Amino acid sequence: MNLALHTKIVKETATLLGFDFCGIANATFLKEDAQRLETWLNKGMHGNMSYMQNHFDLRTNPTKLVPGAKSVITLLINYYPTLSQNNDAPKISKYAYGKDYHEIIREKLNKFFLILKEKIGDIHGRGFVDSAPVLERAWAQKSGLGWIGKNGNLINKKQGSFFFIASLITDLQLVADEAGIKDYCGTCTKCIDECPTEAILPNKVVDGSKCISYFTIELKDALIPDKMKGKFDNWLFGCDVCQDVCPWNSFAKPTTDKAFEPVSSILDFTKKDWEEVTEEKFKIIFSKSPLKRSKFDGIKRNLQFLQ
């Protein structure tokens, strides 16, 4: 069958479903990324995120996830919000302003694959959005959607880094996009200089065990280490400092996807509201929010640590 036609169908379907960018790469072993990941893990920069050590071969070889895989389709969807939080409130990462992106994007991926099957035929594959050991940023870079910045985020030259990344690994042979986009970070070190916990190191290495997002979301311990006291810059859930100071995010455009519109409760909550919220109310308000990942006890722990 016509590779160019199939590739055109993939790109058109991505646009139809509301994805902002779509890139395609050949499903091959990520040798250099495997070496970087191994070094990062050996240095303990994953902290207590033990799951990062699991399924190493799956993370670096897409054919282990999808037997017979030939192409990795990477999709970006903008989540940059139209509104911002109450200035006095503990801060929430922008990606968590709206509904849980996992559910929204998973539904889009399911539709994506159904459309491809209808238009192309009997193909196989799997869609992923933070749901499996996939190096999304590496595949995004490999498919020409941007470069990996010094803060570890994928940066797109047209719109910056406020994107969710999803992957569709399939046995469908497609025309791969040109990889190797130039690194436009240059000599800029704003993300390194402004990181409150000095988690961003030279040579595009981020020590995950020092990141505010790690402590406020990933860390499940009852207490946050005292050595981090006074370094969180009022971040209650996640952290956007390295993205907020990035010059490329001056090109960020507000999302047009209604599913990612901010939940009014998150924007309007004051410090007092956070202090007084009950577990029952928390579960009701944030039932479809990424904040439920930290759970009520985690949010209360983070709030107490900020005081």
d(CA 280, CA 257): 29
Q: Which residues of 50-72 are buried (b: 16+ CB within 10 A; e: fewer)?
A: eebeeeeeebbbbbebbeebbbb
Neighbours of 221 (CB within 10 A): 10
List, in order, residues 6 or more apart from 41 with CB less than 8 Å away.
52, 53
Token readout for 236 is: 């209650």
- Which helix (H) or strand (E) element contains residue 116? helix 101-120
The answer to whether 57 is a known catalytic residue is no
What is the helix (H) or strand (E) element at residue 56, kind and residue range?
A: helix 56-60
Q: Which of these is catalytic: 20, 33, 122, 130?
A: 130
Among the listed residues 159, 168, 161, 135, the one whose alpha carbon sits nearest the alpha carbon of residue 17: 168
Can you point out the beta strands (E) in the chain? 21-26, 71-78, 91-92, 125-128, 147-148, 154-155, 163-170, 200-201, 205-206, 235-237
Give, as one character, the DSSP assignment of residue 6: H
For 213, list phi and psi in degrees, rounded to 5: -60, -35
Write out the catalytic residue numbers.
130
